[in-house]
Amino acid sequence: MTLQTEQQLEAESIDQNRLDRQMIVILDFGSQYSELIARRIRETQVYSEVLSYRTTVAQLRQLNPKGIILSGGPNSVYDTGAPQCDQAIWSLGVPILGVCYGMQLMVQQLGGGVERSELAEYGKASLSIDDPTDLLTNVEDGTTMWMSHGDSVTRLPDGFELLAHTANTACAAIAHHDRKLYGVQFHPEVVHSIGGLALIRNFVYHICHCEPTWTTDAFVEEAIREIRARVGDKRVLLALSGGVDSSTLAFLLYRAIGDQLTCMFIDQGFMRKLEPERLVKLFRDQFHIPVAYVNARERFLAQVQGVTDPEVKRKRIGHEFIRVFEEESRRLGPFDYLAQGTLYPDVIESADTNVDPQTGERVAVKIKSHHNVGGLPKDLQFKLIEPLRKLFKDEVRKVGRSIGLPEEIVLRQPFPGPGLAIRILGEVTEDRLDILRDADLIVRQEINRAGLYNELWQAFAVLLPVRSVGVMGDQRTYAYPIVLRFVSSEDGMTADWSRVSYDLLEIISNRIVNEVRGVNRVVYDITSKPPGTIEWE
């Protein structure tokens, strides 16, 4: 059997697993909430995928979804060049739910009318239910739903009925019960829509007749089967960062293929205090997963010497990572596969993959920045294996927990690939790294002691490259300030500064000033994202 034939059989097997799974397809028309719709459906333990609105009916038939959701979008359906779906979709015989733009497109293509509203509607609105059955079963009359539209349905297509309205929107929810076509003018997927999850459950369970089969245990079993079928007796290399994604992937791969897996951890010298040592000890000694530790601290520090521009800093760290990775992979290899912790949001948003024209295999040309800090050279032609690419972040945490990943890693807060190098503004030096490591350790200790670590999206310290005058022990000091950055967020896309207690801030400030040499001032960042970013560089 040729390699190409083996690969084709593997692909067919994996595709068949996908086709055998009950699923809801979301056709994306450019909504900022399309990914969130998929997440909400996954929360009902039903598999969902986000696809382009250009997906044809023939492609949809091949996928055999139990239901289809048309997302919202920024356009008006009557605009020239507005995105349109394949009109044959209405004859598929599959339940369809249109959300905002998706509802308006449904109405327009089926002969109804959509026009610009005299009164646009944004934000919370009270939903008055006219038909409490089917889609709106158990959705409370007067419940709050989140609106975001400047257009409205002015005429329903033949056979459609009104399900609900609001003060400013006559057609807030509609249905053609016989054809199982539904539309809502609001966003049931956002957290502000109080009755939104009940509506989604109605569509998924009662209208599409899905079963809750998308579970953590089912995913783990399927992933292990796929990994074994694809890898066979070949070797796999994983660049381990210590974050939840790469750590979960390491545990999953080791369960599937054992010592055929080699994890490489490149210590670039920019991690938190004692983290590299603890990570290697945890994987090697406690879990017996092979880890090749590469101490490249001096090499990386030399690359950023004298560099103050954050982009130059990132690029130099990235380029050095490429060089170290290339050298070490050749020393440890050969390897047939590179494992990468790509998640489903990366699949939706990213096009950072190539396809081998001869085999059809995806070929790795990049390690994503949330796992490491640079890309791979194009001449390292590993075949890419991405077992987590179907999962959202919260699903990865569930998988990690189910296969024995320690809670300290499962719940680890996001940490940038370049590490502390981008939490030191300006030039990175050994002295500044030591100062920031000590300050960061105090922050983590006190946040944990206060029971806030799992409540905050991120809590960390930043070192500014300026000095200010202070007084300590009746002596004048001239030392660095530390900035505390604590934020709350659901996904990192937006964030708000956290209103932690003054008492906690006082404890952290006193400890840092008293225990960290070279610091005499602590300040708190109260900037949200936007306009700021979570990290300072």
Q: What is the length of the chain?
A: 537
DSSP state of 221: H
**Cα separation, 9 vs 17, whole angstroms:** 12
Identify whether 208 is a catalytic site residue: no
Phi, psi of 509 (to 5 degrees): -60, -45
Closest CA to 404 of 262, 286, 233, 527: 286
Closest CA to 292 of 340, 232, 333, 253: 333
- Give residues with Cβ within 8 angstroms of 343, minimum separation 6: 245, 388, 389, 391, 392, 393, 396
Identify whether 187 is a catalytic site residue: yes
- Give residues with Cβ within 8 angstroms of 207, minimum separation 6: 67, 95, 134, 135, 180, 182
Q: Which residues of 34-69 are buried (b: 16+ CB within 10 A; e: fewer)?
A: bbbbbbbbbbbebbbbbbebebeeeebeebebbbbb
Phi, psi of 372 (to 5 degrees): -140, -165
Identify whether 85 is a catalytic site residue: no
Q: What token pair was written down for 326?
A: 């290339």
- For residue 308, give the H/E element and its range: none
Residue of 100, 171, 210, 263 with catalytic role: 100
Tokens 């690359």 sit on residue: 303
Gyration radius from the chain CA atoms: 26
Q: What token pair was written down for 343?
A: 């998640």
Q: What token pair was written down for 231?
A: 């890898």
Q: Cα–chain-centroid distance for residue 214?
A: 18
DSSP state of 90: G
**Cα separation, 281 vs 503, whole angstroms:** 35
- For residue 441, give the H/E element and its range: helix 430-449
Q: Cα–chain-centroid distance for residue 454?
A: 17
Max intra-chain CA distance, the chain: 85
Q: What token pair was written down for 286?
A: 């406690």
Number of H helices, E strands in the chain: 15, 22
**Cα separation, 309 vs 305, whole angstroms:** 11
Residue of 187, 208, 320, 386 with catalytic role: 187
Residue of 35, 49, 189, 320 with catalytic role: 189
Q: Hey, how many other C-beta atoms are within 10 angstroms of the C-beta on 449?
A: 11
**Cα separation, 381 vs 359, whole angstroms:** 12
Closest CA to 519 of 438, 430, 422, 458: 438
- Give residues with Cβ within 8 angstroms of 21, minimum separation 6: 47, 213, 214
Query: Could you give the residue numbers annotated as active site?
Result: 100, 187, 189
